[in-house]
Structure 1
């Protein structure tokens, strides 16, 4: 397992680049903090707990008058599987004043300069998979971890010398060169075709800053040469802003939450929980790992996605949209119940939604998520009483 420390390169770029470069971690933090304030008295989010608490008072993240809901900004994130089916995550530096040590997947805002246009708030494509979302996922993965999800003329992954790779990360991040232009200069094209859509997440309505984030799954080759091993190892940027970058088994990350070693917010925990059902176990070897991947992909493509007869079961995982909302359920253990079936205010009236079969249990303690679990909704609600 490769472990490295990753930071953002220092930059003196203008406001256009800075505004476009708010990290996916920030989006997840806002999503998590809006849930935090909406689900209990702890609040504590540094990114606008008052606004999120107001959303809780008016329905805990449920949709309301459109004029009072902040626009959801397009972003993308990718779950990269290593040759051993471990998951790529980046970790916020421990000394950070907010969201310290949290683990997230690489990702960030769509930037028109690098990725292309998504369309305005009323555009039909704003909340659907598309070329700009895919390019953003590839670019962000490269900027944050050094792993380049791009193909050369022969169909293999592009190999770039370490020094050139690090220089390119700084230049692309700083807006000195467009990502696609740099890729062409090294004989590569972004491997967007092999990004597998795997849910979209929309920040709850009460948050002051909101995101519509397309998630993807990407599988690195199961066989690796020595040169490829260097190219596909996450590399550090000295931890100035956020992070260690590493591959880890999904189960290790989930278990780390229980022991306090790992901090995951509900979206990451939920997605890792789903992956762990297929990528867990002690058996090794490329044949076993290939079998794991085949089963995972078959499950991702299968509908219905659940046996409960809910309308969301007819929505494939590639098209599911999740806007977490607290259910009005009182639990003796102090944890709140997050429903995952709603798609958010922008998609009211459309036949879109997420996962009605599962819920996330979580307690926010000191602004941090604790005691997370993914559970069957019917089991949690018992006879269906929500009070």
Structure 2
């Protein structure tokens, strides 16, 4: 190596993690407010989730295993375990055929949250001893995100959607549930200071006004769900059980498509590693979402070629986020360049 050359920077191996877009009985979405001192997403609002644990979640595919970047049992267990640790909501059923969630007395639930987080209690064993079954089948894959190589801490994160049972509000009992959903609570300030359900539209509006911090993946995914789960503007009353179920059915129908990018990759298989494709004239970075990252370069998988995320990165975190059509943004930049 010559004296004038720089050593090649080593690219960090992405750590396996999983998160859940948890949808309430009224079709609101849960976000947790992370503590300011967090090493990941400080002060941001995030979905419940975190790193996988081999001791808790089962065997994790190795770095060279193709399954490391696919939905699997360890990712599902990790997502549900982290959701329980962080929010107190346990995604477990009374038995495999039940439509109702397992109910745990509050003091026992809080004890288990702390001991599972501390590694003193095995999550899966505790659920079984409590008379339940972890509802891994209730998770719906909804994109994977691999941190770009320019960052020192990288993750390969499997995102899921989970619909909590609809409330018993009317005669349509075949789609309703008597499950009691605990009010989400923070973990006491260990990683989060608040846990709250709110409509997708409200979260997006707060982020757009820079009242809260949402990172591009969270903003983008909420943006995709918002047209289906936002309250109707034509009605002042609460939606009926049938209307809520219809919203959920439309989400499921959407997930069977490819987002209109013509590649045919369904949302559960899309992999995105956001990369800046240009700096807009308004000072915002334009992030492309079509590439899956170097780990999956030859896999044939990819992300969203139709949309981009516009964001202004600052000392406080991402600001002024917006999701737009890629072709529209590129055309606007070409027109601006002519002026």
For 2:142, which of 171, 194, 198 is the aligned residue? Answer: 198
Could you say which residue in structure 2 is the equivalent of 1:119?
A: 61
- Distance of aligned partners of 1:96 and 1:200 in 2 relative to their CA distance in 1, 3 Å threshold: closer
Q: How many residues matched?
A: 315
> Which is bigger in relative contact order (C-alpha 8 A, separation at least 6)?
1
Could you say which residue in structure 1 is the equivalent of 2:272?
A: 322
Could you say which residue in structure 1 is the equivalent of 2:331?
A: 382
Shift of 1:207: 1.5
For 1:289, which of 227, 244, 256 is the aligned residue? Answer: 244
Distance in 1 separating the partners of 2:304 and 2:29: 22
Alpha carbon RMSD of aligned pairs, Å?
A: 2.3
- Distance of aligned partners of 1:227 and 1:164 in 2 relative to their CA distance in 1, 3 Å threshold: farther
Shift of 1:367: 4.0
Distance in 1 separating the partners of 2:250 and 2:305: 22
Could you say which residue in structure 2 is the equivalent of 1:373?
A: 322
CA contact (8 A) 1:107 1:140 kept: yes
Shift of 1:100: 4.7
For 1:163, which of 107, 121, 131 is the aligned residue? Answer: 107
- Distance of aligned partners of 1:69 and 1:105 in 2 relative to their CA distance in 1, 3 Å threshold: same
| Aligned residue runs from structure 1 range 102-251, under 5 A | 102-153=44-95, 155=98, 156-224=100-168, 228-229=179-180, 231-251=181-201
Normalised to the residue count of structure 1, the TM-score between the two structures is 0.77
Could you say which residue in structure 2 is the equivalent of 1:5?
A: none
Normalised to the residue count of structure 2, the TM-score between the two structures is 0.87
Could you say which residue in structure 2 is the equivalent of 1:6?
A: none
Could you say which residue in structure 2 is the equivalent of 1:305?
A: 259
Shift of 1:371: 0.7
CA contact (8 A) 1:199 1:321 kept: yes
**Residue aligned with 1:318, SS:** coil
Could you say which residue in structure 2 is the equivalent of 1:259?
A: 209
Unaligned runs of 5+ in 1: 1-64
**Residue aligned with 2:67, SS:** coil
Could you say which residue in structure 2 is the equivalent of 1:358?
A: 307
Distance in 2 separating the partners of 1:75 and 1:96: 16
Which has more helix, going by share of residues? Answer: 1
Unaligned runs of 5+ in 2: 1-7, 170-176
Distance in 2 separating the partners of 1:99 and 1:305: 27
